[in-house]
Amino acid sequence: MIFYGGGVKRATAITTGISILVVGGLVTLAAPALAGAYAQVSAWQLFDPSPSADSEAAPAPTASEVSSTALPDDDVDVGDGVSIDRNDPEGCDEPAWLHLGHASARLSRDLIDRGPRGYAKGTVGRDAQGRVTTYTVAAGDALDAIGDRFCLANPASVATLNHTRVIQPDELLLLRPDSTLPWIPYFNPNSATEGYLQIPYQRAVEAMSAAAHAGDLDALRSIFANDLEALFPDPAEADVIRDALAAGDLAALRQMFA
């Protein structure tokens, strides 16, 4: 179970860690997810290898099994084995869910902008298809209200997606990640083991995020080489970042370090 405010989310997703997010004196709780020729392998393949040959894959469910596990009327399936309460945020018949995986981030469905409201008065960015993609934080904004505005059921994940613990006025937040591009985990690398020191890694990731937003490739390359690269227990996890830096692909880097 995942708790947000006074409501309860029934979900199979597992979160790690809790942080406090403050904007304009407001507090909310947060629970701790390549463009170009070098992106021929999916992000999932890069960070989540297929089971080994001696492991046994689970069989696909039969039609009768699917029928027997139909969701209650007050639940909605948002994918990846997660079901959540319908009408939460209130007035949202089918709320969206932000999935943060080991290598990628995606929305379960397009966001709906229900308009500015108390504690969610920021500016919306849209893509060529008119879909909500970004949000510029206004003074006094809070994540719960932002989630209510966009019918997003797990708004605390917006902070994790954007590699931050505290959202700030005028900060540009990514709301609609590109699921075809990798996303670098915020709290620790996927290959981290017990006892891993998270703080140096998080600080390096935050510095990469700031440099990516500024479009400063030189800074990105310097931070990666001097501060971040050696913090991946599995060097292969750093390869996707190294390739994006070599290609000068700011679009991919901004996704990785939103």
Domain regions of the chain by residue span: 2-48+76-190
Strands 26-30 and 19-23: antiparallel
Record the pTM. Answer: 0.73
Averaged pLDDT of the chain: 79
Res. 71 pLDDT band, cuts 50 70 90: low
Q: One-letter amino acid identity for 125? A: G
What local confidence, expressed as pLDDT, does residue 111 receive? 97
Contact call for residues 258 and 160 (beta carbons, < 8 A) = no
Contact call for residues 162 and 174 (beta carbons, < 8 A) = yes
Dihedral, CA atoms, 127, 128, 131, 137, nearest 10 degrees?
30
| pLDDT tens per residue across span 140-157 | 999 999 999 999 999 999
pLDDT above 60 for 64 = no
Residue with more model confidence, 18 or 256: 256
Contact call for residues 136 and 125 (beta carbons, < 8 A) = yes
Q: From CA 143, how far away is CA 152, in angstroms rounded?
A: 10
Q: What angle do CA 113, 141, 201 make, to 5 degrees?
A: 100
Question: What percentage of the chain reaches a pLDDT higher than 90?
Answer: 63
Residue with more model confidence, 21 or 54: 21
Res. 108 pLDDT band, cuts 50 70 90: very high
Mean pLDDT of 154-165: 96
- Positive or negative, the CA dihedral 191, 32, 181, 93 is positive
Please tell me whether the peptide bond between 72 and the residue prior to it is cis, using omega within 30 degrees of 0: no
Q: One-letter amino acid identity for 91? A: G
pLDDT above 90 for 81 = no
What local confidence, expressed as pLDDT, does residue 69 receive? 55
Q: From CA 169, how far away is CA 105, in angstroms rounded?
A: 24
What local confidence, expressed as pLDDT, does residue 47 receive? 41
What local confidence, expressed as pLDDT, does residue 85 receive? 87
Q: What angle do CA 71, 176, 170 make, to 5 degrees?
A: 130
Structure tokens at 138: 């206004």
